[in-house]
Amino acid sequence: MLSLLGLTLVLSCVILLLTGKMSPLITFSTIPIIIALIAGFSPSEVRVFFTAGLTQVTPIAVMFIFAILFFSFMQERGLFEPLIKSIIGATIHRPAAVPMATVVIATIAHIDGSGASTFLICLPALLPIYERLRLSPYLLLLLVSASASVMNMLPWGGPLGRAASVIKSDPTELWYALIPIQISALFILLIVAYVLGHREGAHLSSSSSSSSSSLKRKEGEATHTSDPSSEESHIPVDQPDYSLSDTYWWINLGITLGVIIVLFSGIFPSALVFMMALSIALILNKITVSEQREFLSRNAWNALQMAMIIFAAGVFLGVLKESKMLHALAESLIYLLPENVLAHIHIIIGFLGVPFELILNTDAYYFALLPIVEQAVQPYSVSSHSVVYAMLIGNIIGTFVSPFSPALWLGLGLTKLEIGPYIRYAFVWIWCLSIALMSIAWAIGLF
């Protein structure tokens, strides 16, 4: 009965999330309680489930809030603007180099872990350049999406935080082993960008003789409508344009480097590091109380929406684990699947991670599927970390190729592209990158 109820709970949440009938917040905070009461658990037992689940995810949620606020502040204060401007200036007259620069810019822009802000920073800045050089906007969206997906492996990125909350681990500790994978992924992406950039250049060269007049007209229109070298072209319109002195820029750079060093050292919890870093940054930048309120008003929703989902997911995880539904469901899975398949089910799912992203959204993948797989492979001495690495590395690259990603719809709107042609253009490249990273992770012994 517990197995059947656990399956009902998981399927109900997955279906509601996939169909969009309920938001993750409502789904995770109501359906588990209803199922627990139907299972015959008393209100006092449900309270224990709730408390255990909330205790499990609270450090993760707190880290998310302050990490997103910290990096949003650094973005607004222009910390990364000089590097982005220099890259744009160095590549604007070299079409084949622009895709490689896109990878670098998107990697820097996604350091705050927010897909929406990454698309807002990169796409308005780079789309006029792609139009002027007649490069495909689908290539632009592919490279920005893939780079942001790689950077999502950071501790304050959504997938790693979700996975860490499921196995009760510190996301920063999980991240250390992922650093070689991130470096490898970015290196591969630069190669892919170089190849695709040259392919675009060769296509333009072959077609220029037959359509030179048309191309010149398009170039003139693109130049007239937007100047890619202008500052306004890559600063989001909903953020203020701070004019920083060199002193403040160096202060912010020092704070950010200090945060990275402390995170690597592990001497303080991640949540405390970002909480203190944000406070220090606000003080040293001489932000008044009224300006602090305005900053929080602009960025509070980005910081709080993921935290609220994680808190609600704590209810889901608390009920699923503490009621023993998860254990019963894993036992049923063990009974049904052949032993030689079950022992490697996390690796199989990892290699199929990108297709899974097309049918499961991120919340369903990490909060519903991951706990079941973790429990199922425990009898075979597979560590929770191995399960996370296999399922995360294979899946995370497909984050922004899924129709269930709100940030992707923002990117499609900014580039005026359609999702069907984009998925057809990007899916094979994204899946090949995922498989390559899975192979590297397997070779170095992550799972």
Highest mean pLDDT among 105-109, 128-132, 223-227, 235-239: 105-109
**Domain limits, the chain:** 68-169+176-297
Please indicate whether residue 446 or residue 236 has the higher confidence score (pLDDT).
Answer: 446
pLDDT confidence bin for 84, thresholds 50/70/90: low
| Exposure b/e, 212-238, CB count within 10 A at least 16 = b | eeeeeeeeeebeeebebeeeebbbbee
- What percent of the chain is modeled with pLDDT above 70? 83
Question: What's the pLDDT tens digit per position in 175-195?
Answer: 889 999 999 999 999 999 988
Q: Summarize pLDDT for 30-46 with one digit per residue, the tens.
A: 999 999 999 889 999 99
Angle at 404 between CA 160 and CA 355, to 5 degrees: 75
pLDDT confidence of residue 208 = 52
Q: What is the pLDDT averaged over residues 383-388?
A: 90
Averaged over 70-85, what is the pLDDT?
A: 78
157: left (phi over 0), alpha (psi -120 to 50) or beta: beta
Closest CA to 330 of 381, 382, 376: 376
**Is the model's pLDDT at 76 over the cut of 70?**
yes
Q: What is the pLDDT of residues 200-227, one digit of tens each?
A: 766 655 555 444 444 444 444 444 433 4
> What number is the average pLDDT over the span 285-300?
87
- Can you give the pLDDT at residue 230? 36
Picking from 165-179, 196-210, 353-367, which range would have the lowest pLDDT averaged per residue? 196-210
Q: Are the C-beta atoms of residues 60 and 161 closer than 8 Å to each other?
A: yes
pLDDT over 70 at 435, yes or no = yes
Distance (Å, whole) CA 45 – CA 40? 10
Question: How far is it, in rounded angstroms, from Cα 404 to Cα 408?
Answer: 8
Question: Residue 242 has what pLDDT?
Answer: 44
At 380, the amino acid letter reads: Y
The half-sphere exposure of 446 on its side-chain side, counting CA atoms within 13 A, is 26
Question: Which residue did the predictor score with more confidence, 190 or 248?
Answer: 190
Using 50, 70 and 90 to split pLDDT, how confident is the model at 392? very high
